[in-house]
Amino acid sequence: EDKVVQSPLSLVVHEGDTVTLNCSYEVTNFRSLLWYKQEKKAPTFLFMLTSSGIEKKSGRLSSILDKKELFSILNITATQTGDSAVYLCACRSYSGAGSYQLTFGKGTKLSVIP
């Protein structure tokens, strides 16, 4: 059974801090790893990673994938209160006949206090 494990499950930091969120996985027929931000209800797409060692950046957020050690990290620098959310890691795997499946972790709840 495919498994995606995120850590920590929750985190409280002060504005301006830098945080690192972790995601490890055991997935058959792995194709890519995706990060989503879930503020209220709808998860919004952050990054998709398919190759090891290539950092993806978007403003203060960055992420990298290690396909040998089967993990990814999401870094957020100079955190702001607007970064408070649940961050979801998901692995996309091929399940045959042109179909793919996303397996999500439980998420990391980040709270940024002023």
Per CB under 8 A, residues contacting another protein are 4, 6, 31-32, 34, 36, 40-45, 48, 88, 90, 92, 95, 97-107
Q: Which phi and psi (to 5°) does residue 63 adopt?
A: -150, 150
In the bound complex, what is the minimum distance in angstroms from residue 27's beta carbon to another protein?
13
Nearest residue (CB) to another protein, 14 versus 45:
45
C-alpha triplet 84, 76, 45: angle, nearest 5°: 70
Nearest approach, Cβ of 55 to another protein (angstroms)?
18
Q: Buried b / exposed e across 78-113, counting CB within 10 Å, b at 16+?
A: ebeeebebbbbbbbbbeeeeeeeeebebebbebebe
Residue 76 vs 92, nearer CB to another protein: 92
CB of 79 to another protein, least distance (A): 22
